[in-house]
Each structure stands twice: as C-alpha cells, then as structure tokens.
C-alpha cells in the first residue's frame, strides 16, 4: 500500500472534496479479505511496540482527530489490540477544566506527551483549539489564527527532542455520520454514547470542514505530518492506519538492548 497517497504534503493546500471518505484505493478486495491483513499488522505492531519499550530510546505520539462518530475509539480498540498497556497510553482531551483554562492551551497537552519507550495516543488533541474554538467563536479570530504557528513550533520541539509524530484525520462523510448516529440511537447497548449535542453539531458541518481544511493545510509538516484517512469503511480505516504506524516504527531501525549482566555463566538449576 502506498501510504504517501494519504499524506498531506507540507505547504500544499487541502481540498477535502478531493479526498473521498469511502475511498479504498490501493486495496483490491473487501472487508473479509482485509481482515487477515489487519491481524498481521496487529501482530507486527505488538512486536514493534515491545521493541520500542525495551529499547527505550524513541517516543511515538499519535494524534486522532475526527468529526463525531468518526472512529477514534474504534482505531484505538482495533489497531492497537494486543499492545502492552505498560507502554501505551491514551489521553482524551475533553472540555478544559478551570485549572487548565487558567494556563495556556498547550499546558495540559504537554503533560501527556510520550516518554522514551512510550506510545501515546491523543483522542482529540490540541487541535480542538483551532477547531471547536473557531467554529463556536470561543476566542477571537486573531487568537486562533496565530495558534497554527504555535502548534507547529510546539510539535517541532517535540520532534527535535526525539518524538515521532503521526496525525490522522479520520475523514467520514456527513451521510455516514448520520447512519452511525442513528445506529447509536436505535441500539440500547450504544445509547450511552449518544448525545443530543452531537446532532446539534451537525448544523456546523461546513464550518468544521473549513476549520479542518485550514488546520490540515497549515500544520502538516515534515516533522509532524497529517494523514487524511478515508473512514466511511471502518476496516479500510484500520488497514491504512495499521500500515502507516507499522511502517513508521520499522523505519526507526530499533534493536533490543544488550542484557545488563553477563549471561554466559548463568545456570538455572
């Protein structure tokens, strides 16, 4: 699979109408044929994550952004199935607390970035501060407009300190979102995930698409690239993200550290 087709090239404006949410390009087959490939990627990721943790040199930050029902939880649940929770953490960024609001908007984010040997997954992220705050006019335009450069500088600092950054926009269509919201509403086991506010947010769909377009265009960099992932088909979403994460970890050329002690004379009786 050519993962570069999903990457937003730095300095290139994004037109989301040119990124079909139901695209399955690069794969000839369906969900049934993709499942063994996804399982293989999951197994490879499990081994690579253990190697990352053992070597203790690299850090991996994964940012997941999407409209409501876009599949962030599904990616975490399926792509990272089997990884050791000792070395993988999920940070979910919700409405800021009074303490968080008393600091700059990146304060709470910086506390959650990965340490050496860790993978940290952001379920939503600092990008809410150029998305939600823009759509709902929570801060003046002159405030959120300067945040693109601030975010780029923040991510550059993380990268220069040894963090590999992958950012995924899970791109679903408005029709697919309607279908998924209806499924939550109709299924008693999923109603706990349904919020009336999700329906209200649909009224701002075009505003969110404009905000995402700017965020993707202005903050996809060599050190922290954005990938636009077609997410109408959950299996294809997982397949693509699995490929990108595995390829990124393999490219780190990691190796297991030598044992601390000389094991040649160890005898277990």
All structural domains of the chain with their residue ranges:
3-250
Model pLDDT for residues 32-47, shown as the tens digit of each residue: 999 999 999 999 999 9
Q: State residue 17's pLDDT score.
A: 92
Average pLDDT over residues 95-102: 94
Architecture (CATH level 2) of domain 3-250: 3-Layer(aba) Sandwich (3.40)
Extract the tokens encoding 143.
Answer: 């405030």
pLDDT for residue 28 is more than 80: no
Q: State residue 231's pLDDT score.
A: 97
Q: State residue 233's pLDDT score.
A: 96
pTM for this entry: 0.94
Mean pLDDT of the chain: 94
Average pLDDT over residues 168-189: 94
Q: State residue 238's pLDDT score.
A: 96
Q: State residue 247's pLDDT score.
A: 97
Instruction: List phi, psi (to 5°) of 89.
Output: -130, 150
pLDDT for residue 230 is more than 90: yes
Q: What is d(CA 60, CA 163) in angstroms, rounded to the nearest whole number? A: 6
Q: State residue 15's pLDDT score.
A: 95
Q: State residue 222's pLDDT score.
A: 97
Average pLDDT over residues 49-61: 96
Model pLDDT for residues 197-224, shown as the tens digit of each residue: 888 899 999 999 999 999 999 999 999 9
């Amino acid at each position: 699979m050519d993962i570069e087709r999903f990457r937003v090239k730095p300095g290139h404006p994004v037109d989301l109408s040119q990124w079909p949410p139901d695209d399955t390009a690069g794969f000839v087959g369906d969900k049934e044929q993709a499942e063994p490939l996804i399982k293989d990627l999951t197994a490879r990721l499990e081994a690579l994550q253990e190697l990352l943790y053992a070597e203790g040199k690299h850090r991996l930050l994964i940012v997941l952004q999407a409209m409501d029902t876009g599949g962030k939880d599904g990616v975490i649940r399926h792509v990272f199935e089997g990884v050791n929770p000792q070395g993988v953490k999920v940070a979910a960024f919700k409405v800021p607390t009074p303490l968080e609001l008393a600091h700059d908007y990146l304060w709470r984010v910086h506390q959650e970035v990965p340490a050496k040997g860790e993978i940290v997954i952001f379920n939503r992220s600092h990008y809410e501060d150029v998305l939600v705050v823009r759509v709902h006019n929570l801060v003046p335009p002159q405030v959120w407009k300067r945040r693109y450069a601030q975010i780029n500088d923040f991510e550059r600092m993380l990268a220069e300190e040894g963090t590999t950054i992958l950012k995924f926009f899970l791109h679903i269509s408005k029709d697919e979102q309607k279908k998924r919201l209806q499924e939550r509403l109709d299924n008693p086991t999923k109603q706990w995930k349904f919020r009336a506010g999700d329906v209200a947010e649909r009224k701002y769909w075009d505003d969110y698409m404009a905000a995402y377009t700017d965020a993707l265009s202005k903050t996809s960099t060599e050190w922290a690239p954005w990938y636009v992932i077609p997410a109408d088909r959950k299996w294809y979403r997982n397949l693509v993200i699995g490929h990108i994460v595995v390829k990124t970890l393999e490219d780190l050329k990691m190796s297991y550290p030598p044992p601390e002690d000389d094991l040649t004379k160890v005898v277990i009786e």
